[in-house]
Chain A
Amino acid sequence: GAVVSQHPSRVICKSGTSVKIECRSLDFQATTMFWYRQFPKQSLMLMATSNEGSKATYEQGVEKDKFLINHASLTLSTLTVTSAHPEDSSFYICSAPQAYRNTEAFFGQGTRLTVV
């Protein structure tokens, strides 16, 4: 199947700093990517849809100014957690369906963010 690579896999940062997470589709193009957040022992919650060449769309309750999303190319989306706080500590995971195909979503390996 297609491969989605996410980087970094783990990051620890200080409160108030920003953290960038990358999501790359390695062997296919993805006009759309999705960002999810998963708190311990909870489900994956869709945060936002990253659209290549246009603005991201955010789910209700997700602060767009805090979670900046950039979809610079057909293979790369980035999520920047700005002014991170301990409550932002979570598992962030991206997914990407293959462009123009109605197939399964391929997930990145996830990023464990810890804000201290």
Chain B
Amino acid sequence: GENVEQHPSTLSVQEGDSAVIKCTYSDSASNYFPWYKQELGKRPQLIIDIRSNVGEKKDQRIAVTLNKTAKHFSLHITETQPEDSAVYFCAGERFNKFYFGSGTKLNVKP
């Protein structure tokens, strides 16, 4: 299956600063890369996704970039707010199976 690596494992930023989380994947045939936000004890919530035919996608304060050649993709959160604090997971998808990264615990300090 797909092997997805994610870093950093923890990230602390000051409110208003930007946060960047990076992932790499192994399967060059993967073409869908979602990012999920998970709050403690709750289900993952999709926050943004990107398909392999585009290099960047933006939704308000959140953006994702994809480099298919290098097989890596990144999540960018600008103007962070305390409510952005959560665990974020990237994933690679093959045949609707999702292989998740190890997660990044983001802490936004007020």
Contact = CB atoms under 8 A, between A and B. Distances in A.
Contacts of B102: 42-43
Most buried by B among A45, A49, A107: A107
Contact of A109 (B42, B49, B96, B103): B42
A27 interface: no
Interface residues of A, number: 22
B97 A108 contact: no
Secondary structure dominating the interface of A: strand
B101 A110 contact: no
B89 interface: yes
Interface string B28-46: 0000101000000111101
Contact of A43 (B41, B97, B103): B103
Interface of B: 1, 32, 34, 41-44, 46, 49, 89, 93, 96-103
Task: Give me the 3 closest cross-chain CB pairs, A-B, nearest first.
Answer: A107-B43, A97-B96, A44-B100
